A and B are shown apart, each in its own frame.
Chain A
């Protein structure tokens, strides 16, 4: 990759296209999520119009996935919205990290960039903004990445919807088995260390113990219990490691 050293060699167009290009591998990574979301959305009881609208105006992969899973087990709307809040809290960290590089921009930039912010776009953009090459158009890079992600997500979700429509009687068998499989497939890559293991075991046990709570509140309680358990284990292990140092 040849990066020009003169600031005036940067153009909006070049930044935009580089942002989109650097996101390409992540576009592929998002594909199965979009496909599965589309396939399962209708089987969970969501109308096709609502499934598409959710992708278009919420645009949050894991939250959409979880919303569909919660709908399938008859969770009240308010609990789904509360769960969405918890699941997406990490995005606040992303915005806060990018803010120093974006705060000079007007609202007509900030609002769309915030709306389009995803894990993937954050991952490539944070890399770009920390490169001190004096480009005045780094926000165009983020926009390029964002728009590539947005279009890609819509296409895969739509393909998933068409696929779900083709599978005969998907509602009777597809959702029932595919949902736990997909959720387990998404969970396992996280479980890399002891604190994560403790988090997952606590959340699961708590999920079983709190099933009696009304409005599926047990899911939120258990998620928080899992987070707390993981965090406490992490802190305890760090303290022990520091104490063991000579």
Chain B
């Protein structure tokens, strides 16, 4: 394990445990503001999309919108499979298989 990895893991431990423990460290009963509660549900999809969309459309830092962009093809298949199945494992399985079939036919 490198120093960088150790710093990463310890940092992630610190923030994760800190968040989970923080309310326990308060003596009295705490309640979260309803608006904060409503906001939290949007965090996971927002983060995932903010990472994925640029990675798919600009895989090497430059725009690449074409049928021979494998990331874009995989993403489109995954979106379709995900919308149809709404199941993570099925989405991954369908997408990977279709993607490799596509690669074999096209490439």
Contacts and interface: CB of A to CB of B under 8 A. Distances in A.
Interface size range of chain B in the complex: 35 or more
Please classify the interface of chain A as helix (H, G, I), strand (E, B), loop, or mixed, using the class held by over half of its residues.
helix
Interface string B1-30: 110111111011111110111111011011
Interface string A63-97: 11011011101000110110111111111111110
A244 interface: no
A5 B55 CA distance: 56
Contacts of B19: 85, 88-89, 91-92, 95
Nearest to B73: A177
A58 interface: yes
Given A50-B5, A176-B70, A207-B53, A92 B20 contact: yes
A223 to B, nearest CB: 4
A226 B20 CA distance: 24
Contact of A187 (B12, B20, B49, B95): B49
Contact of A67 (B7, B8, B20, B88): B8
B50 A93 contact: no
A236 interface: no
A230 B91 contact: no
Interface string B22-43: 1110110111100111111111
B46 A226 contact: yes
Contacts of A47: 1-2, 5
Contact of A92 (B1, B22, B29): B22
B48 interface: yes
Contacts of B29: 99-100, 103
A185 to B, nearest CB: 4
Q: Which of A62, A73, A93, A234 has the most CB of B within 10 A?
A: A93
Counting contact residues on chain A (CB < 8 A from B), the size range is 35 or more
Given A58-B12, A178-B92, A178-B96, A207 B74 contact: no
Contact of A185 (B27, B30, B82, B99): B82
Nearest to A86: B43
A71 B26 CA distance: 34
> Which of B46, B51, B79, B99 counts the most A-chain CB atoms under 10 A from its CB?
B46
A219 B48 CA distance: 9
A181 B22 CA distance: 34
A43 B57 CA distance: 21
Interface of A: 32-33, 36, 46-47, 49-50, 53-54, 57-60, 62-64, 66-67, 69-71, 73, 77-78, 80-81, 83-96, 99-100, 102-103, 110-111, 113-115, 117, 176-191, 195-196, 199-200, 202-204, 206-208, 211, 218-219, 222-228, 230-231, 234
